[in-house]
A and B are shown apart, each in its own frame.
Chain A
Amino acid sequence: MPQLNFALNGFVFTPPTFATVNNGSLSFIPFSPTGSISFLTMNVPHLLTNSNMTFTMSFGLYSLTDSSLSLINSISGTHSGAVASKRYASLTATSAAQNISPGTWFFGLLYSTGGVSNLRVYGGLASAIGANAFPGGFIGGAMTDSTSALPSLIATSDLNITGTGSIIEAQIILSA
C-alpha cells in the first residue's frame, strides 16, 4: 500500500455548505484513505460568524466493528479568530503516534465553543438529503446526548442518522 502525504474526505451529499457544528456533542464523519497516512496534522475549514471567537476541538479517530465505534486515537487544538471570517483551524496534538491504515475510519468531532453559537464547518449536507434514516450501513451520524469527552465506545444505534441535522460531513484534510 502506498504512503500518502495527505488525505482528505469528500462530500457524500450535495451541495457543500457551511453547517453549524454540533456544539457539546459529537458528529461522526467517515474518512476513507486509500493509502496509509501518518496521523500528524489536521486542517479543518470553518466559518466564524462572530468576531473574537475561540473554540476548542477534540476529534476522535474511531474504527467500526459490527455496530460499535471504538476510539483508537485523538487529535485536538484551539483556534481563535479576531473577525468573522472563513479560516482553517489546525490540530496537531495527537494522543499517540499512528500510521493510519487504508480503509474506512470515522472521526468523532467534539467542539467546545465557550457558549458562542453558530460556529460552522464546511461540509456536505443539505437540500438533497433524504428525510428518512439512512438505510444502508453506517456512514455517519450525530450523538443526541451532551458530552465533554470523547466516548471510548459508542453504538451506531445510539446515533441520530435521520434528517439534515444528523449527518454533517465536515471537510478534513490530514497531512503527514
Chain B
Amino acid sequence: MSILTPNVFFWGEQPYPTGAATTAANPQLQFFENFPGHLGNGFGGASLNTLSIHAVNIPLSLSFNKVVYLLLRTAAVTASITRNVRFGLYSLNAGTLSLANSAGGEITIETAAAAFTSWISLNTSATQNITPGTWYFALMDASSGGVNWALQMFFNSSINPGNAIPGGFLMGRMTATTGAMPASMATSDLDITGSDAIRQPYIIITA
C-alpha cells in the first residue's frame, strides 16, 4: 500500500520516515472531503444531465457509506420538489475511467417558509472499503426539465482558464447528456477547458 501525498486537507504536512511507528494494519478514515470548504467559491446552479468529474487523493482507507453535499434552496418552497442526483466513484486506467461504485437516486426537497441551506446525503449502492490512492468523484443532477437555479450546489471555483488543463487528467465535464452514470468513459471525451471543467461540487464521503 503506497502512501500518497495527502489532499488539501493537510497542505502543510511533510512525512519524515524518522522512526518506527505503532500503527494499525489498515488505518481508517471516518470521512473524506474533496476540497476544504474555505477554498469554495459559492453556490451555483448545476447543469442537468451531464456529469462533472475530478481527481482526489484519498490518503487512508475509508468505508464508502454516505455521500454528502450541500444544497441551497434560494427561495421558499411551497410545494415539494423531487430531484434525481447521482454520484459515481471512478478509477482511471490509462485513458479510461471505470465506474467502481455509485450512490444516489431521487431526493425530495420538502416545503419551507424561507430559503435554506441543507446537507443532502446519498446512499451507496454497494459496500466498499475505498483503498488509499487516487480516485475520481463524479456528480450529476439527472432530473428532467431545465436548469433549476432555485436549487444550487456548492462549488469550488469560478476561475475560467483559457486553455485546457495540461498534464494527466485531473478534472473535466462530459459534453454529452446522460441520465445515468456511465460504466466507463474516455478522458478524451471530457471537456477539460475553462470554468466548465474547473467547476466541481463540494463532496464529503463518510463511513
Q: Does residue B6 face the partner (Cβ distance < 8 Å to A)?
A: yes
Q: Does residue B163 face the partner (Cβ distance < 8 Å to A)?
A: no
* A139 near B10: Cβ-Cβ < 8 Å: no
Q: Does residue A115 face the partner (Cβ distance < 8 Å to B)?
A: no
* A36 near B22: Cβ-Cβ < 8 Å: yes
* B19 near A3: Cβ-Cβ < 8 Å: yes
Contact of B21 among A8, A101, A132, A138 (CB under 8 A): A101
Some 17 contacts from A to B, beta carbons below 8 A apart, are: A1-B27, A3-B15, A5-B14, A10-B8, A10-B9, A12-B37, A34-B60, A101-B21, A101-B23, A103-B29, A103-B60, A128-B117, A133-B119, A135-B121, A136-B206, A138-B30, A139-B206
- Measured CB to CB, the closest approach of chain B to A98, in angstroms, equals 9
Q: Does residue B149 face the partner (Cβ distance < 8 Å to A)?
A: no
* Chain B stretch 42-80: residues in CB contact (< 8 A) with chain A: 42-43, 59-60, 65-68, 70-71
* A15 near B12: Cβ-Cβ < 8 Å: no
Residues of A in contact (CB 8 Å), total 41
* B204 near A136: Cβ-Cβ < 8 Å: yes
Inter-chain CA distance A1–B117, complex, in Å, is: 39
* B16 near A2: Cβ-Cβ < 8 Å: yes
- Measured CB to CB, the closest approach of chain B to A87, in angstroms, equals 20
A-B contact count (CB 8 A): 146
* B37 near A3: Cβ-Cβ < 8 Å: no
* Chain A stretch 113-137: residues in CB contact (< 8 A) with chain B: 124, 128-137
- Measured CB to CB, the closest approach of chain A to B153, in angstroms, equals 11
* B117 near A130: Cβ-Cβ < 8 Å: yes
Residues of B in contact (CB 8 Å), total 51
* B70 near A130: Cβ-Cβ < 8 Å: yes
- Measured CB to CB, the closest approach of chain B to A46, in angstroms, equals 18
A-side contacts of B65, CB under 8 Å: 136-137
- Measured CB to CB, the closest approach of chain A to B62, in angstroms, equals 9
Contact of A10 among B27, B36, B68, B117 (CB under 8 A): B36
* A11 near B36: Cβ-Cβ < 8 Å: yes
- Measured CB to CB, the closest approach of chain B to A148, in angstroms, equals 28
Contact of B37 among A11, A32, A99 (CB under 8 A): A11
Closest A residue to B65 by CB, please name it.
A137
Q: A36-B23, A102-B23 are in contact. List 16 more A-B contacts (CB 8 A).
A: A3-B18, A3-B20, A4-B16, A7-B10, A9-B9, A12-B204, A33-B10, A34-B6, A103-B29, A135-B68, A135-B119, A136-B119, A136-B206, A137-B206, A137-B207, A138-B206
Inter-chain CA distance A85–B38, complex, in Å, is: 23
Inter-chain CA distance A110–B17, complex, in Å, is: 33
- Measured CB to CB, the closest approach of chain A to B145, in angstroms, equals 24
Q: Does residue A16 face the partner (Cβ distance < 8 Å to B)?
A: yes
Inter-chain CA distance A58–B111, complex, in Å, is: 43
Q: Evaluate whether A137 and B18 lie within 8 angstroms (CB atoms) in the complex, with A6-B12, A34-B13, A128-B37 already known.
A: no
Q: Evaluate whether A14 and B3 lie within 8 angstroms (CB atoms) in the complex, with A32-B30, A128-B117, A131-B116 already known.
A: no
